[in-house]
Chains A and B, each alone.
Chain A
């Protein structure tokens, strides 16, 4: 479903990603771990088209991005890509001037051109699935951090993406909510989604990720089956990181 080959990204003369390659099969979860500044967020921004890579190839939900493409063709494909990928940011970026319901139906009604009653009906179902149906008419700033995150998830799901990407989803959650978020996300895999979850929390990714990618200094240090990486890391740097994280 996702395949990345030799991805290189520079900004202001510094290489942030130095040849990253990996692949994610459909209906699996890739966990991306690494310390701050390791390049994991930039990797995510390249995958969803917010940043243009300098070299390499990305294949994501049948859309192929290549660093060699012309600017307009790259932009055209990024537009296609965005219909397949939903992203939930660390800072969520909910629309503060719209209600919870308004946040969710905004893109379906104006991008997918779904009729408003239909969009609302679906949005209420989504809210029910994340346990927020009764807060549909509230404004985001009146909700708790965990509730806001679930609104952001529902907003992304409303566009029917095949792939979901999360950037540091646990940064604002207490342990109990972390566990419930994990089971919510795991449920999405059962429904057929493929996911990329960037996090520095090993405890969160344990039992959620099928595969793990450990990054350091813009390079892939270790990539493989989650259990193998967690229990018998091959690279001493991974081992160090895991020990510190626990």
Chain B
């Protein structure tokens, strides 16, 4: 079973590799590798660039031993999704199939949870080696990536409410609202037929809306329909499944050797019956699959007792909470890391905009207005998918950390600037008259006073940064909001998990607010004064 643990180890091993590489690259003094504290923004940027380069290198080396595959586990049953019994682990027929493929290839399968909408981009930026997520080889995708041999023949199922007697075929859906997933065979078919449809990100929400009467029908690939709709008492199939499409494995163009290996492995698991066994277990086997078999030798049919019954699975809260806890740690690390960047970078920005030469003022203003004026989500997507096209690919967590840091630096700079400008000119003059240089006056007299003014708005920003870490789900960072989406889609426990996740966010932001209030009080020296006064009395 694949879980998050190998991913963490992977990350650690990447970092470890980096350190080794760094040790080899730099003539190490005293044979000791040191991570020096970040001294200046330029040193930090340099370090980050080196770290990124090393991470990319380390990732490529690692790729030779493992088969990293990407898929969207959120709402991904029965392809790949969180096991309700063990929310810490991923299950699904494609998960089992990739394990079988990988072992046929002599590799170790490694799952990289990702987002459906960005799977192709993520493959191209080498977040993983292959896409296995019920992906069809459409013409537009084939322009960007290449595909393996098909491993599954799928049909589409049209689902309606049980009491609905109006719809018996796709043609009956004219002038009705049909729900489906975005960018799938079903959505393209509806487009071609000129039937209006509503796009959903998750199968579960589409079927829920159908039950609630918000839409008239749902059309979806049979595997998803089997898992999400067939056990719902209020829903039924409007007609027999129709359409003929294939699922193939997506690969980067140019990875021809890998494609050859994958094709061989696909042939192998089809012909030795491994795939049929897996499909039977997941209730997905049908005679249409025989088309893919080169030899028609039929393995033993399996009884339905051994079939995986997904609806009867009970949700394991203990593991879910443990998984949320780990996601919360990621959230905390991203929040603190990016706040650190924001606080460090905000000061030079503020000073540049405030007292710098005209050109510097101008540049700082452009920076601030750019990062304040565009959504942080767009900035993260740009950093994650845009930068790799110029050869700069950072892992998701680092992208989130840097992206949010750059964004909040713009806000912090304005907090600093307002605070600095609030210090009366007389404070500068008094310092000069005591013989201080402008730098000394700034450091010893102006900055400490400005800091006192800046603390309350800074705290405010930090709390809001905590919540903004949730935008990192867009670039597949496994933080708290992503965890919520995944687990809730796997279990349908939107309400209770939502409460749990909210409690986590509160548990993180409330101590922050409390600490900030204490810091404020300390800076205002109320306690100090009281202490002195009680001493005097």
Point out residues on A near B: beta carbons under 8 Å. 48, 50, 79, 82-83, 85-87, 89, 91, 93-97, 106-107, 110-112, 134, 137-139, 142, 155-156, 159
Choose, from B287-295, B355-363, B455-463, B524-532, the stretch at the interface. Answer: B524-532
Give which listed residue, A50, A97, A134, A142, contacts B433 with CB less than 8 A.
A50
- Determine whether B418 belongs to the interface, using a CB cutoff of 8 Å to chain A: no
Interchain CA distance A226-B434 in the complex, whole Å: 30
Contacts of A79 in B (CB 8 A): 435
Interchain CA distance A113-B171 in the complex, whole Å: 90
Size of the B side of the interface (Cβ < 8 Å), in residues, is: 22
Contacts of B448 in A (CB 8 A): 97
> B452 — nearest CB in chain A belongs to which residue?
A97
Instruction: Flag if A82 contacts B529 (CB, 8 Å).
Output: no
> Shortest Cβ distance from B424 into chain A, in angstroms?
7
Contacts of A82 in B (CB 8 A): 432-435
Instruction: Flag if A87 contacts B433 (CB, 8 Å).
Output: yes
Give which listed residue, B427, B432, B433, B435, contacts A95 with CB less than 8 A.
B427
Residues of chain B from 430 to 444 with CB closer than 8 A to chain A in the complex:
430, 432-436, 440, 444
The interface centre, meaning the residue of A86, A110, A134, A139 with most chain B CB atoms within 10 A of its CB, is A110
Instruction: Flag if B424 contacts A159 (CB, 8 Å).
Output: no
Give which listed residue, B435, B523, B525, B532, contacts A83 with CB less than 8 A.
B435
Contacts of B445 in A (CB 8 A): 95, 106
> Shortest Cβ distance from B48 into chain A, in angstroms?
34
Instruction: Flag if B430 contacts A97 (CB, 8 Å).
Output: no
> A107 — nearest CB in chain B belongs to which residue?
B434
Instruction: Flag if A111 contacts B449 (CB, 8 Å).
Output: no
> B450 — nearest CB in chain A belongs to which residue?
A97
Instruction: Flag if B440 contacts A110 (CB, 8 Å).
Output: yes
> Shortest Cβ distance from B19 into chain A, in angstroms?
40
- By secondary structure, the B interface counts as helix
- With A79-B435, A86-B433, A89-B430 as contacts: A139 and B444 at CB distance below 8 Å: no
- Determine whether B426 belongs to the interface, using a CB cutoff of 8 Å to chain A: yes
Cβ-closest 6 pairs across A and B: A107-B434, A93-B430, A93-B426, A111-B435, A87-B433, A97-B448
23 contacts between A and B (CB under 8 A): A50-B429, A82-B432, A82-B433, A87-B433, A89-B430, A91-B426, A93-B424, A93-B427, A93-B429, A95-B449, A97-B449, A106-B434, A106-B445, A107-B435, A107-B436, A110-B436, A111-B434, A111-B435, A111-B440, A138-B529, A138-B532, A139-B529, A155-B434
> Shortest Cβ distance from A136 into chain B, in angstroms?
10
Interchain CA distance A91-B429 in the complex, whole Å: 12
Interchain CA distance A85-B452 in the complex, whole Å: 31
> Shortest Cβ distance from A135 into chain B, in angstroms?
9
Interchain CA distance A159-B435 in the complex, whole Å: 9
> Shortest Cβ distance from B534 into chain A, in angstroms?
13
- With A93-B427, A106-B444, A110-B444 as contacts: A142 and B436 at CB distance below 8 Å: no
> Shortest Cβ distance from A46 into chain B, in angstroms?
13
- With A50-B429, A107-B434 as contacts: A142 and B449 at CB distance below 8 Å: no
Interchain CA distance A139-B532 in the complex, whole Å: 10
> A50 — nearest CB in chain B belongs to which residue?
B429
- With A95-B427, A97-B452 as contacts: A48 and B433 at CB distance below 8 Å: yes
Instruction: Flag if A137 contacts B532 (CB, 8 Å).
Output: yes
Contacts of A111 in B (CB 8 A): 434-436, 440
Interchain CA distance A107-B433 in the complex, whole Å: 10
Contacts of B532 in A (CB 8 A): 137-138
Interchain CA distance A91-B532 in the complex, whole Å: 26
> B528 — nearest CB in chain A belongs to which residue?
A139
Contacts of A93 in B (CB 8 A): 424, 426-427, 429-430
Contacts of A142 in B (CB 8 A): 529
> Shortest Cβ distance from B439 into chain A, in angstroms?
11
Interchain CA distance A83-B433 in the complex, whole Å: 8
- With A95-B445, A139-B525 as contacts: A159 and B429 at CB distance below 8 Å: no
